[in-house]
Amino acid sequence: MQETNQKLTGFAAEIRNIAGWAWALAAIGFLGMQYVFNVVVAHQPDAPPAWARPLMGLSVGLLVAFYMLMIGYVNRDFKLVARWAWILAAIGFLSMQFVFNVVIARQPDAPPAWARVLLGLLVGLILTCYLLLIGYVNRDSGRRGMSRVLWTTVSVLVPNGLGIILYFILRQPVIGNCPQCGHAVQHGFNFCPQCNCKLNPSCPQCQRMVSPQDAYCPYCGTSLPDPAVRSGVPQIEVRH
Over range 84-106, report the average pLDDT.
Answer: 93
**What pLDDT, in 10s, does the model give residues 132-189?**
989 999 988 888 888 999 999 999 999 888 898 899 888 887 767 777 676 666 666 6
Domain residue spans in the chain?
2-174, 175-240
Lowest model confidence (mean pLDDT) among 35-39, 65-69, 111-115, 228-232: 228-232
Q: How many residues appear in the chain?
A: 240
User: Cα(101)–Cα(115) distance, rounded to whole angstroms?
Assistant: 10
Task: Show contacts of 72-78: CB within 8 Å, 24+ apart.
Answer: 72/18, 72/19, 72/21, 72/22, 72/23, 72/25, 72/26, 73/14, 73/17, 73/18, 73/19, 73/22, 73/168, 74/133, 74/136, 74/140, 75/19, 75/22, 76/17, 76/19, 77/136, 77/140, 78/136
User: Cα(173)–Cα(113) distance, rounded to whole angstroms?
Assistant: 48
pLDDT score at 188: 60
Closest CA to 118 of 101, 94, 95, 132: 101
User: Cα(192)–Cα(151) distance, rounded to whole angstroms?
Assistant: 28
**What pLDDT, in 10s, does the model give residues 207-226?**
777 776 777 888 888 887 76
β 237-238/184-185 pair status: unpaired
Over range 44-65, report the average pLDDT.
Answer: 87
- Percent of the chain at pLDDT > 90 equals 22
Q: Per-residue confidence at 230, pLDDT binned at 50, 70, 90?
A: very low
pLDDT score at 93: 94
More confident residue, 44 or 236: 44
